[in-house]
Structure 1
Amino acid sequence: MADEEAQVLRESKKWAWADRVAHSNWKVRSSAYDDIRAACTAVYEETDPCLTEFVADSNAAAQDKALDALNTFLFKANEQLVSKYVDKVVANIVGKALNGRTGTVQRATEALLCYIELEQSSAVVDGLLAGLKNKVPKIVVASIDVLVQAISLFGVKVIIPQPVIKATPAVADSKDGKAREKAKELVVELSRWVGPEVIRSALFKDMRDAMKEEIDRGMQEVAALGRPKPERFTRKEQARQAALRAQQEASGAPADAGGAAADSGGAAAAAVEEVQAEVDPYEFAEPRDVLKDLKKEWWENLEAKKWSDRKSSLTQLKELDVDYGDVNRELRKVITKDSNVACVAEAIACTGAMAQGLRAAFSATAKNLVEVLLEKYKEKNAAVGKAVSEALAAMHKHCWGLLDVAENLTAALGHSNPKVKEETLVWLTSEIGAEAKPALNKLAPLLLAPAAKCAEEATPSLREAALRFMVTFATKFGNFVVLDKFTTKMDDGRKKRLEEMRAEAAGPAAGGPGAGARPSAAAAALAASRSKPGTAATAKVPLAAAAGTGKVAAGTSAVGAKKGAAGKEPGNGYICSGSSTLAAQAAAMRLTGAQ
């Protein structure tokens, strides 16, 4: 009997798992469980070569099978498990598999993308950047190609672009022609996500003119495709999207006629397809010490009798910028007491530059300047008004929220000068979109009540600005009922105008930019650019980055981005070199220092 049982146990080792675990003999089932445990231990054991070494098999056919097995494993694995082995596996894939046959490289690429999907983008990027230094040209080219695909599929929210940008100049100057061509493709792909001005300021300085022109044309080609969107998502993001779709289905929301709900989850998909956050060129800026740049002459010129000397000193500050109490006090004095409007406008621009460079560290000073700046809206000079709007926008973006300065805003809306009220309303209309819904709930009574009073004023442009702000506020709020409490005393004419503006705001939205291009977009753009050898890069550069000295982003706006934090080395007063314009300061400055 014992011999028969032993024979059955030996034979059962050859059976399928399903047959073994369903066998009537408990010893057969027990043996199956032991073997399953042993197999799982071998796969999940960190020291086992099963995962880390088999992708480096010396036989090409066996290596392909190993990569197939790895991809199957990654499809089922979770983040916690793969994080234990990712560094060793990626190193072997980059060092061995990317040097293989075409099919092998494709399998290896998919494995690396699977690791990114499993939240291991940092390890994968590190491994690929190491591949850029490999002595084998084929590995360098393949590593660049995987980076291009990863950025194109996942976007810069998953693939952090800074280390890639820093590693790009070396391969762009490679002796291998294929590596240089792939490097161009990588640069163009990066420009789709971080903007061409970041690329120009970070990479063009030491690049050959011929390569600059070709990349410039390629960047213009991909810019025409519209803003890119990720085409592949991490597992966490996939789970979030699935939860949103399930929530929508549970709420019983029907699919639209075009099948949008069935295809992309309807409203849930709209929430999932978040607009990629604007890449802040501030993150790419190199810090430099500017304390030594404020010489004795600077302080003397600030008190000079000639307005041009005073303005020159202020312009220098705007280009350098520091965060010290003495400078802030001098700026405030110029803004409030200087009789020359050019000096006043320049001093106001300096405060905006400080807000963009210091960010959270400038918060307290920025709040104290709001009252002074709003008061300057009474000036008839257009340059002063523009400087005030830009400086306030920079502070709102980086230093405070509207709720923090609501008292000053309410006071400005009740100012005796109609121009102050009108300009404040116009500025609020442009900025209210950056506020979160919780803040709007508290801002409604504080801003809508005085705005409704402004709508009753005799000045037509002031009335129009007030109504426009109210409609914009309600649109952002998501419900026009919020206006009911403040419009009960309005006459029929104003209510009619309010309804007209409301209808305009509720009209069909303009179509957004086209979907992101396929992974080959950068390559296609470069190919197209090569077919136009006589076409020079003619795109206008709004900010003065052409000299390659500043970290500048095209279209840098002072409106509607998340507030940044102060620099990383507190107390050193560091900034980076850049353009003299206020807009360029947002990109160029990287100030740190306590007030």
Structure 2
Amino acid sequence: MEADKEEDYSSIPLSERAVHKVWKARLNAYEEMTKQFSRSASESDSCFKPFLSDPALYKKIVTDSNVAALEAGITSLVACLQYGGANACQRLRGTLVTPLAEKGLASVRAGTKQKTVEALLYFVELDSPDPVVDELLPILSNKLPKLVAGTAMALREIITNFGTKTVNPKAIVKVLPKLFAHTDKNVRAEATNIAVELYKWMADPLKSVLLPDLKPVQQKDLEEAFEAVKGVQPKQQRFLLSQAAAADAEPDDDSAQEDQPVDSYDLVDAVDVTSKIPSNFFENMASVKWKERKEAVDELFQLANVAKIADSDFAEITRVLGKCIVKDANVAVVMVAANCVESLAKGLRHNFAKYKPNVFTSLLERSKEKKASVIEALGNALDAVFESTTFSDVLEDILEFIKHKNPQVKEQVALFLVRCLRTVRTIPKQAEIKHVCEAATTLLADTAKPVRAAGADVLGTVMKMIGERAMTPYIDGLDDIRKTMVKESFDAATVRAKPEKAAPPVPAPASSKPSSKPTGPPRARPSASSVTKRAPSGTPPTSSSSSTSRSEPSSASHSSRLAPPGSRTSRIGTTQTSSLRKEPVPSSPRAAVTSTRAAASSTPPPRGTGRGLTGVSLPSSSSSSTSHSNNSSLLAAEKAELSELRRSREEWQSSIATLRQQVEALQGENAKLSQAVSELQLNNQQLIEDHTRDVLSVKAKETQLARTRSELNGAKTQISGLQRELENVRSANPQLTHASRDDPVKDVRQASNTPLARRKSTAHVTEEEKENGLASSRITNGSTFASARTSSAFSPISTSAAEESLSSGTTSAGDSVESWRRAAEVTSQLKARIEAMKARQIRR
């Protein structure tokens, strides 16, 4: 140990000491690295190069096995990032973030954890937070609880220092339910800390995303924790390198820290709804049974009731919902259909605007319902549809339905208009305000009290937006009672609209621009040339010009006293005035301005005009009259040009309004055509299904016919076999050929006497019985009656009787006549059956 203490490692190069097998050598190297980094002259200093050129070397440093050396190594990394800047961050981040977090955040030493978090914050500050967060999130699935808790703590520090404006909280919010379900209490505690920190920045949108996935006990605890920090306004403590200049320029007051609120819509993933809709949805929606329609809209509502919906083709679905809302007689189905529209509009947001014509007028028309729950569902659906569009898009339909003959519809449409005016963020155009006020004034004269109250609310809300003075023309003709109603609504109304930004001022004509040369201080004795130059400018007098004009009369009087009699000042002024009056009148205001300026600049002052003993030029009365005439002509020209511009603007506005109406008409036609196309597609699909069914039916018939033909051929084959066997029997006993016609009993007796005939007859009868029974069963296609008849005809009893009669005829010639008679009857029956089978085959 003494040898280790006395050994000097300073002679070893720094990069070799950093990976030395002795931990003290490595510790010494890390401390020296920290000193060199802190003393570096710039970010490109040579002390950084060995470590930035080989990031794997620093990976070994931040994963040192010795706890003391590990803390020193992470401290050197913090110094490297602090003084090495963005270049060091970009070179080391991809290699070091994961091993640094896994080793440093799981350490038992508080200093090591603190330095690790500081290094991670520098990785965020010098470039971007997304790569660091993406590297840390997979570590939350590690099996080591203390590493998961440390990583959660690091994420909380990143949010605390940089805020949700810089760090996207979507990925962090998604993993919070998993942390709350962890078995380790320290991990759950860190998850609570992250949720509270996010609530400071995001407020209520976090609740709607996070709380539904937690247990009731955890929800209650989080609600209490959120209440404790409610109203806290967090501030960003550290800024990215790209934000540093902006952060220095911002003031320290709270107004500079105002950010746009975080929307929960941006924190969730879109869900594909169209792929999950049941195949029989449209069939059930067209059913005559209200329960089937109710089941269909219930299934759709369960699918669409999500925070964010992926954009797809909802044209046919919204068309069916709109038709259901306006025509369905069951209010329960209507209410759920309205809830479906609300969910689709909230989930699609601005993507739902193209489906607005399919449902909006249906919702307004159905507002005649008196049941409170249905009215509430319709109102929520209208509000959601309005959020996806603009005020101008819905105003036309509102103004149309506000004239409805049903007082209930008028009241609900007016209340919807009030909600639109209170939530819109920009004050509507002047023409739209005029239409709204005129419609609301009409409602004030309605016979129904709720309608009058709704009209007063509309006027009061508009007054809150544009002010009492601008509202005077619209309420000036109302009586005192109605004015009082409007004033009460005005006091209670709250609006969010702000006036549109004023357009940049139109530049004044060239004649009204002041002279580019700065006007100097007033002189006691201005020259005549300066007076001539300032006269036609047409600018309002400033303080300097007014003082100059006040000093001019005194100098003029002084010069007139010094001037010799018979001076030419008055005559020259008269000549100039008359020459100006004789000029032709310009054809346009702009030409008048140009000609006047040219005349003023091209007419030089007469030499020697108004010169006294001192040789100072004196102003003449003619020059002042000339300036007055020029000013009047300039003003007239400007007024003419202004009126012409106003007229052009009105023409453009009228043409724009016409084009807008044409566009709206084309959009309506497009919606109708889309609806017609959808109906044609449905009809085409139905025709295809009918054709498919017909084809299948024809194929079934053909299959049945082919099977029947094959059975017929089999029966024919069996008949021919029977005939051949009969011929064989006759050929075996020639005596049967001649005697069979006269005495069939004798024919059978003689044929049966031979041994071969006895064997054949027995086999033939059995086989014939089986084949005839099967053939008759197949030909009749399973007919019960035919099967019964066949089985009775070819029963084993009759066969055995025939065999007994034949055998008895062959064994004993002296049997009774009754036995031969039975044998003859069996033979005749067999022949009759064969003939009957042939006849049936011929008929078929």
Provide TM-score, normalisation by structure 1: 0.61
Q: Which moved more, 1:338-347 or 1:435-444?
A: 435-444
Q: 1:129-208 to 2 correspondence within 5 Å?
A: 129-134=137-142, 137-152=145-160, 154-168=162-176, 171-172=179-180, 177-186=185-194, 193=202, 194-202=205-213, 204=214
The amino acid of 2:416's aligned partner reads W
Instruction: Determine if contact 1:141/1:179 at 8 Å carries over to the other structure.
Output: yes
Instruction: Determine if contact 2:159/2:198 at 8 Å carries over to the other structure.
Output: yes
DSSP 3-state at the match of 2:299: helix
DSSP 3-state at the match of 1:293: coil
Distance (whole Å) between structure 1 residues aligned to residue 221 and residue 148 of structure 2 = 22
Distance (whole Å) between structure 1 residues aligned to residue 373 and residue 248 of structure 2 = 51
Distance (whole Å) between structure 2 residues aligned to residue 114 and residue 480 of structure 1 = 55
1:145, distance to aligned residue in structure 2 (A): 0.8
Instruction: Determine if contact 2:322/2:358 at 8 Å carries over to the other structure.
Output: no
Match of 2:264 among 275, 279, 282: 279
The amino acid of 1:421's aligned partner reads K
The amino acid of 2:294's aligned partner reads K
Instruction: Determine if contact 2:61/2:70 at 8 Å carries over to the other structure.
Output: no
Distance (whole Å) between structure 2 residues aligned to residue 456 and residue 44 of structure 1 = 87
Change (3 A) 1:108 1:345: same
1:362, distance to aligned residue in structure 2 (A): 3.3
Change (3 A) 1:474 1:301: same
DSSP 3-state at the match of 2:45: helix
Q: Which moved more, 1:319-328 or 1:41-50?
A: 41-50
The aligned residue for residue 440 of structure 2 is 451
The aligned residue for residue 219 of structure 2 is 216
DSSP 3-state at the match of 2:268: helix
Instruction: Determine if contact 1:314/1:350 at 8 Å carries over to the other structure.
Output: yes
1:418 matched to 2:397: no
Instruction: Determine if contact 2:196/2:226 at 8 Å carries over to the other structure.
Output: no
1:402, distance to aligned residue in structure 2 (A): 1.8
The aligned residue for residue 383 of structure 1 is 373
Match of 2:454 among 437, 461, 465: 465
Structure 2, unaligned stretches of length 5 or more?
A: 1-39, 305-311, 496-844
Distance (whole Å) between structure 2 residues aligned to residue 244 and residue 485 of structure 1 = 44
1:143, distance to aligned residue in structure 2 (A): 0.8
Q: 1:498-577 to 2 correspondence within 5 Å?
A: 498-505=486-493
The aligned residue for residue 293 of structure 1 is 278
Instruction: Determine if contact 1:53/1:92 at 8 Å carries over to the other structure.
Output: yes
DSSP 3-state at the match of 2:264: coil
Instruction: Determine if contact 1:355/1:366 at 8 Å carries over to the other structure.
Output: no
Instruction: Determine if contact 2:321/2:359 at 8 Å carries over to the other structure.
Output: no
Distance (whole Å) between structure 1 residues aligned to residue 483 and residue 441 of structure 2 = 11
DSSP 3-state at the match of 1:437: coil
Match of 2:235 among 227, 231, 250: 231
1:144, distance to aligned residue in structure 2 (A): 0.8
Instruction: Determine if contact 1:51/1:70 at 8 Å carries over to the other structure.
Output: no
Q: 1:362-441 to 2 correspondence within 5 Å?
A: 362-397=352-387, 399-437=388-426
Deviation sequence 1:139-197 (CA, Å, 0-9, x none): 32211112233345555444333322444465555565533443454456557744344
The amino acid of 1:351's aligned partner reads V
The amino acid of 2:439's aligned partner reads P
Match of 1:121 among 110, 129, 132: 129
Deviation sequence 1:195-243 (CA, Å, 0-9, x none): 34432444x4xxxxxxx35522321212323266443264567766765
RMSD of aligned alpha carbons: 4.2
The aligned residue for residue 543 of structure 1 is none
The aligned residue for residue 69 of structure 1 is 79
The aligned residue for residue 110 of structure 2 is 102
Instruction: Determine if contact 2:414/2:458 at 8 Å carries over to the other structure.
Output: yes
Instruction: Determine if contact 2:74/2:119 at 8 Å carries over to the other structure.
Output: no
Deviation sequence 1:27-75 (CA, Å, 0-9, x none): xxxxxxx97585289579964759966982842563364255257449x
The count of corresponding residues between Structure 1 and Structure 2 is 438
DSSP 3-state at the match of 1:132: helix
Distance (whole Å) between structure 1 residues aligned to residue 217 and residue 199 of structure 2 = 13
Distance (whole Å) between structure 2 residues aligned to residue 344 and residue 324 of structure 1 = 18
Match of 1:319 among 302, 318, 321: 302
1:389, distance to aligned residue in structure 2 (A): 0.9
Distance (whole Å) between structure 2 residues aligned to residue 61 and residue 282 of structure 1 = 37
1:90 matched to 2:97: yes
Percent sequence identity is: 26
Instruction: Determine if contact 1:377/1:385 at 8 Å carries over to the other structure.
Output: yes
The aligned residue for residue 494 of structure 1 is 482
Distance (whole Å) between structure 2 residues aligned to residue 415 and residue 242 of structure 1 = 59
The amino acid of 2:450's aligned partner reads S
Distance (whole Å) between structure 2 residues aligned to residue 103 and residue 494 of structure 1 = 73
Distance (whole Å) between structure 2 residues aligned to residue 485 and residue 238 of structure 1 = 52
Instruction: Determine if contact 1:323/1:362 at 8 Å carries over to the other structure.
Output: no
1:56 matched to 2:62: yes
Instruction: Determine if contact 2:367/2:412 at 8 Å carries over to the other structure.
Output: yes
Structure 1, unaligned stretches of length 5 or more?
A: 1-33, 205-211, 246-262, 508-595
The amino acid of 1:98's aligned partner reads L
1:411, distance to aligned residue in structure 2 (A): 1.6
1:496, distance to aligned residue in structure 2 (A): 4.0
1:408, distance to aligned residue in structure 2 (A): 0.9
Instruction: Determine if contact 2:444/2:453 at 8 Å carries over to the other structure.
Output: yes
Change (3 A) 1:483 1:137: same
Change (3 A) 1:426 1:433: same
Distance (whole Å) between structure 2 residues aligned to residue 110 and residue 425 of structure 1 = 58
Provide TM-score, normalisation by structure 2: 0.45
Instruction: Determine if contact 1:448/1:483 at 8 Å carries over to the other structure.
Output: no
Distance (whole Å) between structure 2 residues aligned to residue 188 and residue 38 of structure 1 = 41
Change (3 A) 1:290 1:155: same
Distance (whole Å) between structure 2 residues aligned to residue 389 and residue 44 of structure 1 = 69
The amino acid of 1:414's aligned partner reads K
The aligned residue for residue 345 of structure 2 is 355
Match of 1:39 among 42, 45, 54: 45
DSSP 3-state at the match of 1:377: helix
The aligned residue for residue 556 of structure 1 is none
DSSP 3-state at the match of 2:477: coil
1:302, distance to aligned residue in structure 2 (A): 3.0
Instruction: Determine if contact 2:55/2:92 at 8 Å carries over to the other structure.
Output: no
The amino acid of 1:231's aligned partner reads K
Q: Which moved more, 1:213-222 or 1:223-232?
A: 223-232
1:363, distance to aligned residue in structure 2 (A): 2.3
1:483 matched to 2:471: yes
DSSP 3-state at the match of 1:195: helix
Q: Which moved more, 1:43-52 or 1:383-392?
A: 43-52
Larger RCO: 1 or 2 (CA < 8 Å, sep 6+): 1
Instruction: Determine if contact 1:354/1:362 at 8 Å carries over to the other structure.
Output: yes
The aligned residue for residue 345 of structure 1 is 335
1:87, distance to aligned residue in structure 2 (A): 3.5
1:370, distance to aligned residue in structure 2 (A): 1.8
The aligned residue for residue 290 of structure 2 is 307
